[in-house]
Amino acid sequence: MDNTNTRSTLLSPVTIHQWQLRNRIVMAPLTRGFADDREGTVTDEMVAYYEQRARDGVGLIITEGINPNLAGKGTYGIPGLYTDEQTTSWKRVTDAVHRHGGTIIAQLWHVGRLSHSDLIGTTPVAPSSLAAEGRVHKLHKPYQVPQAMSAQDIADTIQHFQTAARNAVLAGFDGIELHAAHGYLIDQFINEKTNHRTDEYGGDTAGRLRFLRDIIVAVKKEIPVDRISVRFSEKKDDDASYAWVDKAGMIDAYLNLFRETGITILHPSTDQYTKAWEEEQSFHERIRSQWDGIIIGVGDLDVQTAEHAIGKGSIDLAAFGRPFIANRDLVQRLHAGQQLIEYDANAHLPVLV
């Protein structure tokens, strides 16, 4: 494959509905933990961090996970979009990104049972009273047995997502992403191992997907559906051995839900983009075989793999995570054909630059 052509594919502008993107490069959602821990507001260094990536020329920025309520907080320093102060603080980020011609969407993230009373002041909530294995991120305490959500809790949480979407619009975001992946709250409803409910939000696959469906329906009241991305995954952050029993059936169920609710932008998540998922196909290729909407590719992508995937139409946009932590000028380096700085957790994670 001619390298020049493929690289121009990754770096060429693209229109996704209302978004005029400068290229097909996405800054993946990256939990950094630099928000004001008490208030959940954005700090000066966060504004500078996002502004730098926009100045560099990235096509689309997906923010770090943002909590729709306090119960959604999974570790220290996570920002929110449920108070006026938080909403106002995010306006500084979106203004900075737009000043440099960038596009930015807010990822709404509720961790459910993967929280702790030390962080949120109350017992974590989940579809069922089943504790996760492992320890809370940065707090290093074992996960607690969560409180099974009542019908009212579910209704309230759906409303919190809707309010967060409204606040995202007020804060100037160009769209939102619903984090329905990796074993967090929405995914806890979808997963048969973590959802033992017998009401309308449990039971069969359709029942377990109802929480996600209701959230999509709610947030669509605040923001056009063509500006909503949904992140979903088979993999769970707290259960490395988990796999869908019926892979084809789950993909069908998700895609049918997205079609019925009008979702057109998907962010399927996997650790390794190139890894064979079912027979010869990767996770993203399997979804592409049944989906002609927008697909954001992610999973330890390198530039060559991303160019190839975009070139053959498997994905429309390519999301990079760690390379963006290590390279604030990632896009410029790609334009210039320069070597990227290798990501080093010890060097790069403690600082926000």
**C-alpha angle 209-65-116 in degrees, rounded to nearest 5:** 80
- Average pLDDT of span 145-167: 98
Cβ neighbour number for residue 180 with a 10 Å cutoff: 26
Q: Which pair of tokens denotes residue 201?
A: 């939000």
pLDDT at 17 over 50: yes
DSSP bridge pairs for 295: 266
Assign 1 a pLDDT band (cuts: 50, 70, 90).
very low
The predicted-structure confidence for 43-79, as pLDDT tens digits, reads as follows: 999 999 999 999 999 999 999 999 999 999 999 999 9
pLDDT at 12 over 80: yes
- Average pLDDT of span 90-116: 98
Could you give the residue numbers annotated as active site? Answer: 184
**C-alpha angle 306-308-313 in degrees, rounded to nearest 5:** 95
Average pLDDT, the chain: 96
Please tell me the distance from the alpha carbon of residue 285 to that of residue 132, in angstroms, as a whole number: 31
Q: What are the C-alpha distances in Å from 337 to residues 4, 9, 333?
A: 11, 14, 6
- Give me the pLDDT at residue 291, please: 98
Please tell me the distance from the alpha carbon of residue 202 to that of residue 206, in angstroms, as a whole number: 8
pLDDT at 142 over 50: yes
pLDDT at 2 over 50: no
The predicted-structure confidence for 239-256, as pLDDT tens digits, reads as follows: 999 999 999 999 999 999
Rg (CA), the chain: 19
Please tell me the distance from the alpha carbon of residue 38 to that of residue 76, in angstroms, as a whole number: 9
- Average pLDDT of span 297-310: 96
- Give me the pLDDT at residue 5, please: 45
**C-alpha angle 202-114-323 in degrees, rounded to nearest 5:** 115
pTM: 0.96
H or E element at residue 320: strand 317-320
Measured between its terminal Cα atoms, the distance across the chain in Å is 35
The predicted-structure confidence for 310-351, as pLDDT tens digits, reads as follows: 999 999 999 999 999 999 999 999 999 999 999 999 999 999
For the residues of 104-122, what is the DSSP string, one character each? EEEEE---TTS--HHHHSS
Sign of CA dihedral 333, 338, 342, 346: negative
Q: Give the residue among 296, 345, 340 at the shortest CA–CA distance from 62.
A: 296
For the residues of 62-105, what is the DSSP string, one character each? EEEEEBSSGGG--STT--BSSSHHHHHHHHHHHHHHHHTT--EE
